[in-house]
Amino acid sequence: MDQENGSSFTGFILLGFSDRPQLERVLFVVLLIFYLLTLLGNTTIIALSLLDPHLQTPMYFFLSNLSFLDLCYTTSTVPQLLVHLRGPDKSISFGGCVAQLFVSLGLGCTECILLGVMAFDRYAAVCRPLHYTVIMHPRLCALMASASWFIGFANSSLQTVLTFLVPLCGRNKIDHFLCEVPPLLKLACVDTTVNESELFFVSVIILLIPVALITFSYGRIVRAVLRIKSAAGQRKAFGTCGSHLTVVSLFYGTAIYAYLQPSNNYSQDQGKFISLFYTIVTPMANPFIYTLRNKDVTGAMRKVFCGGNDSR
C-alpha cells in the first residue's frame, strides 16, 4: 500500500493474539463468560436502582452511571474481539476503528472522572453525614455525572482527531486487539514525540487528578471512621468504602500502566493483557464487588427477584 494517510485506508488488521492460536481458543471461552457476567451484573445494578426506592440515593445514582458506562465500554470492544478470536478474519474498517477508539476512550476517561466523583460522595456521606442530603443534592449529582461524561468524550474527541491525523504511510497492522492510541501511534511513519507528550500530559490530568481527590477523600474518611465508637458503624463504613477502593485500585492501576509509562518501555504483549483487564475484567468485577457485601443491594435483590412487596 502506498497511501500517505490513514484516512485513505479501507481498514486495519488487528493482530491481537493471532500468534497464539491455542490461547485464542481459551480466551474466547473465558471472555464470553466474562462478557455475559458483565451484562448480567451491571444490568441488575441498574434495574435494582430503578425499582427499589431505598436505592434511589446519590451513591446508587453514581453506581448506576458506572454500570451503564461499563456495559457500553465492554460492548464497544468485546463482541468484535470474540469474532476475531473465532476466525481468521482480524480486519476492522477505518470508520470502525475511529468509532471504537472514540467510544472506548471516551468511556474510559469518563470512568476515571466518575470514580473520583464517587469518592467525593463517600467523603460527604461519612465525614458530613448531617449535611449529606444538602451537599449531594440531586441537581449537583446530575451536574457532576454530566460533567464526567462531557469531559471524557471531549478528551476522546481531541485524542481521536490527533491520532488519525498522523501519517501512517500504508501501515495498517495494529499489534493489539482493539484500536487504542499507543499501538496506533506505533504505526506512524513520522516522529510522534509531540503526540506522545500531549497524550502523557492529558493522561496525567485525567488519571492523577481523580487519584488525588480519591486519596484526599479516603484519608479524611479513615480519620472519621476511626472516631466512630460503634463497631457495627465502622464495619458498615469500611464495607462501602472498601468496595469503592477495590474498584479504584483495579481500574487506575491498569490504566496508569497503559498510559503513563514511557513508550520505549512499553511492552506490546503486556499492554494487550493489561487492556484485557480494564476493558473486561474490571467491568465484570464492579457489580460483584459492590454487591457481595452490601446488605442494601442484596436485600433489594431478594425483594425484586423473590417477589417481596414490603418496601420497609
CATH of the domain at 115: 1.20.1070.10
Sign of CA dihedral 103, 105, 108, 109: negative
pLDDT digits (tens, 9 = 90+) for 211-226: 998 989 888 888 888 7
- Is the confidence at residue 170, as pLDDT, over 80? no
Which amino acid would we find at residue 18? S
Over residues 34-47, the mean pLDDT reads 92
- Residue 273 pLDDT > 90: no
Q: Is residue 278 part of a domain?
A: yes
Domain membership flag for residue 209: yes
Q: How many CA atoms lie within 13 A of 228 on its CB side?
A: 18
Could you read off the pLDDT of 88-132 as tens digits, one per residue? 889 999 999 999 999 999 999 999 999 999 989 989 988 888 899
Is residue 173 pLDDT above 50, yes or no? Answer: yes
pLDDT of residue 3: 42
Strands 11-14 and 91-93 turn out to be antiparallel
What is the structure's pLDDT at 307?
65
As a whole number of Å, the CA-based R_g of the chain is 21
Rounded CA separation 141/145 (Å)? 6
Task: Say if 3 falls within a structural domain.
Answer: no
In a domain? residue 7: no
- Number of structural domains (the chain) is 1
All three cell numbers of 186 = 506505533
* Assigned domain for 312 exists: no
pLDDT at 78 > cutoff 90: yes
Asked if the structure places residue 309 within a domain, the reply is: no
Q: 242-266, pLDDT tens digit by residue?
A: 777 777 888 888 888 888 877 666 6
Residue 5 above 60 pLDDT? no
Q: What is the pLDDT of residue 311?
A: 44
Looking at every residue in the chain, the average pLDDT score rounds to: 85
Whether 185 is covered by a domain: the verdict is yes
**Domain limits for position 229:** 13-300
Residue 162's contacts (CB-CB under 8 Å, 6 or more residues apart) are 195, 198
pLDDT of 30 reads: 94
Residue 5 lies in a domain: no
